[in-house]
Structure 1
Amino acid sequence: MKDALMSSAIETLRTISLRCVECSTLYPGMESGWKPRYRCDCGGVLDVELAPPTGAKGLRQLFDERASVPPTWPVNTGNILPDHSGVWRYRELILPVPGQYIVSRPEGNTGLYPVGTENCGTGRIGHRQIGSYAGLDHLFLKHEGENPTGSFKDRGMTVGVTMASLLGAQAVACASTGNTSASLASYAAQAGMRGIVFLPAGNVTVGKLAQSLAYGATTIQIDGDFDAAMQLVEQVCNELGIYLLNSLNPYRVEGQKSIGFELLQQLNWQAPDWLVLPAGNLGNTSAIGKAFRQAYQLSLISHMPRFASIQAAGANPFYRSFQQGFTLRESVQAQTVATAIKIGDPISFTRARRVIEESNGLVEEVTDAEILAAKTIIDRSGLGCEPASAATLAGIRKLVERGVMKRDESVVGVL
């Protein structure tokens, strides 16, 4: 089994390169000694580059066929399980791993809800209230809270833990404000690995802390904020050879691209005019933007949507930089009720900046009061979400009020 696993890892990594987003230096998918690389020698973060898939023109049909596979469970589930996953269904564009080595719950397959005043349909009175609040006729909400541990982090974690398994890792670790720790703990337990999470004391919700503990992760609370926890976990992983699974890990971010592929599939491969999402560490902005870029390059869609990243006003380094034309980058002391985006020095800054620039997008900020007001609307509609997710609706409403976003444009917001 070990030899087969190693052979599979070698075959998988042969098709992968890692490129620095700052200086464009290219590295192999894994260097000698199977030591993971998370940063370029210049300090920049890395982006995964896959060899172009063969038969690109048939990808849409392939993905649609996989989505239609009935949920049956034969004796050999090696290929069935990945097809059920809203991540591994698109594995040719994420990580081409044989099905039997994939660590999946499965994740993804989250709802895309029509909530605009015109597209919500009859019988969804609560949903129409969201459209009225936003001021949009054609609005969809992609609810990533429907993932196994309650957040989009599961999409990245299934890829990160699968890679850790291929490399023979015994332990994985992360810094977290809650969602990442719960996800890592769950997937590490499934893979039989030790999970270690570093949390900023007093800045993690009780529910997420309980998840980490219940799944058996070694949970360490530190004095300081998320950024301090991130610095510590990176140091510990490098010194002790533990596999790091924050969004600094380029493979984990690749899994989050599946949000983009899945919502496009749900829209019959018709890209919206706008894609709006909360922005903390900026992994989703960069990942979903990359997914749309790939879909456009492969002719799966006819155009790129404009991206709008929404930050909390008390945790807004990306917004501040955008206001200055991205000429400056400064960290902030983050303070917001939206703990999942309470990050003052986002790791995926450069990757996300590229998405905003190439899509003619923008970055907006919303106050905690605006976030909580939007959360009330979403909760009362029957969908529900955490405060960080509500930043999406708060941002959409603000952009419509400013006239940046038009009432008749098609908009997808990620919760």
Structure 2
Amino acid sequence: MPAADSFTLKTARTSATFGYGPAGAIVEIADPLPESYWAHPANAWSQLMASRIPGLENIWLKYEGSHLSGSFKDRIMAASLGELLARQPDCPGIVVPSSGNAAISAAALCARRGLPMVAIVPTTVPIERLRPVTSRGAILIRAGEGPSQSYALADRLSEALGFFKLYSTFASPWAEWGCRAIGRELAGQMTQPIARILAPVSAGPVLIGTANGLAEAGLPLPQLVAVQAAGCAPIARAFALGHDDVAPWDDSVETKAAAIADRLAGYPQDGTRVLNAVRASNGSAEAVTDLELASARAALLKYDGLDAEFSACAAIALLMREPHLATPGTVAIITASGFKHTYAGDAPTPSPDLAILDTLKTILATLAPEASIGA
């Protein structure tokens, strides 16, 4: 299990509440994740497959885009909402601060329960990330430049409305707890020892939760690699500089990877939790450029048939740049589907096989001269 920090506290499942502990301590649930929030490998919530990207044939892809809402946030929201509704079945509604995926996930779950929901997203989030939220009946509020400001407003709105708040940072003990499902599934899906886990990281529950899930399954801690976008990479910067603590990102945010572009303003201890964990595992925190992310997305589509969100390609972007990391037992977590980009027309267009194209033109000239090739 990732090394706990001096500011990490354990609590019983029945005592878990939103917020940090004394002096900003991160609170993690001591109880194992129950099977009601994850499935055995024969019926896993997300599939595991070997990549076909040239040079990465040794790695495994844990594709989280197959969830109901298209991202791993379903694991967090299912655990969070399930626990809260068990305590208060007459919940009046939900407030969710998000850069997109958490809001979509919460909206999908709330729609199935007939729960009112308010989503608060930064003004910089593209419209294609918001339509899946509003189409499920949620009310949308756009405020602030980044996730930190959305969380601050969510705190106030939750109190004013009497609604539950659902977070996907370490401020919610159910965020990391729900992500343990990834590790629990991997423990049964993998046919070889797990040597390394790479994941796109914003605040970090996905990586820490996966490692904790492996520990719950009785497996040793693999090397952990947190991957961020170079245009907003507070954890990777702290790692590169050899700092003991993560400081909020104070530069401008220069990346299209909105899902992992979090300054960590107001909760930098989330980043420090990840920083300490990757060091304890002999891993690292790295940053990739938007160009590398775009190349990784195109490669996943071309060779593995996976439509992955731009931000979700971070682990593959790093492996394509650093192929020496693509050793047997390496798992890359692909955190979300790319359907939002693709529906908006933002998708790579690889060159077709020219020989087949010429043959098709010749055949169509006779069979269907009115037909055209291409979109």
Instruction: Give the counterpart of 2:60 among 140, 146, 163.
Output: 140
Please give the root-mean-square deviation of Cα atoms over the aligned residues, in Å: 2.5
The code of the aligned residue for 2:321 comes to K
> Residue 211 of structure 2 contacts residue 222 of structure 2 at CA under 8 Å; is this kept in 1?
no
Separation in structure 1 between the aligned mates of residue 44 and residue 309 of structure 2, nearest angstrom: 18
Aligned to 1:6: none
The code of the aligned residue for 1:262 comes to E
Does 192-201 or 149-158 show the bigger shift?
192-201
Structure with greater contact order relative to length (CA < 8 Å, sep ≥ 6): 2
Instruction: Give the counterpart of 1:111 among 39, 47, 53.
Output: 47
Q: 1:329 to 1:239 in 2, by over 3 A?
A: farther
1:337 aligns with 2:272: no
> Residue 33 of structure 2 contacts residue 177 of structure 2 at CA under 8 Å; is this kept in 1?
no
Aligned to 1:50: 31
TM-score, normalised to structure 2's length? 0.78
Aligned to 2:307: 384
Which residues of structure 2 form unaligned runs of 5+?
Answer: 335-375
1:162 aligns with 2:82: yes
> Residue 200 of structure 1 contacts residue 224 of structure 1 at CA under 8 Å; is this kept in 2?
yes
> Partner of 1:112: helix, strand, or coil?
strand
The code of the aligned residue for 2:224 comes to F
State the shift of 1:260 in Å.
1.3
TM-score, normalised to structure 1's length? 0.71
> Residue 9 of structure 2 contacts residue 25 of structure 2 at CA under 8 Å; is this kept in 1?
no
Separation in structure 1 between the aligned mates of residue 33 and residue 87 of structure 2, nearest angstrom: 23
Separation in structure 2 between the aligned mates of residue 307 and residue 267 of structure 1, nearest angstrom: 17
> Residue 271 of structure 1 contacts residue 304 of structure 1 at CA under 8 Å; is this kept in 2?
no
> Residue 225 of structure 2 contacts residue 285 of structure 2 at CA under 8 Å; is this kept in 1?
yes
Q: Deviations over 1:190-224 (max 9, x none)?
A: 22322111011231341x31121121112111142
| Paired residues, number | 319
Aligned to 2:297: 375
Separation in structure 2 between the aligned mates of residue 331 and residue 52 of structure 1, nearest angstrom: 31
Q: 1:205 to 1:288 in 2, by over 3 A?
A: farther
Separation in structure 1 between the aligned mates of residue 157 and residue 99 of structure 2, nearest angstrom: 18
Aligned to 1:278: 200
Separation in structure 1 between the aligned mates of residue 261 and residue 12 of structure 2, nearest angstrom: 33
Q: Deviations over 1:44-74 (max 9, x none)?
A: 2311111799xxxxxxxxx8xxxxxxxxxxx
Which residues of structure 1 form unaligned runs of 5+?
Answer: 1-19, 54-62, 64-81, 91-106, 116-127
Aligned to 1:398: 321
Instruction: Give the counterpart of 2:153 among 204, 214, 232.
Output: 232
Separation in structure 2 between the aligned mates of residue 413 and residue 25 of structure 1, nearest angstrom: 28
State the shift of 1:25 in Å.
5.2
Q: 1:137 to 1:88 in 2, by over 3 A?
A: closer
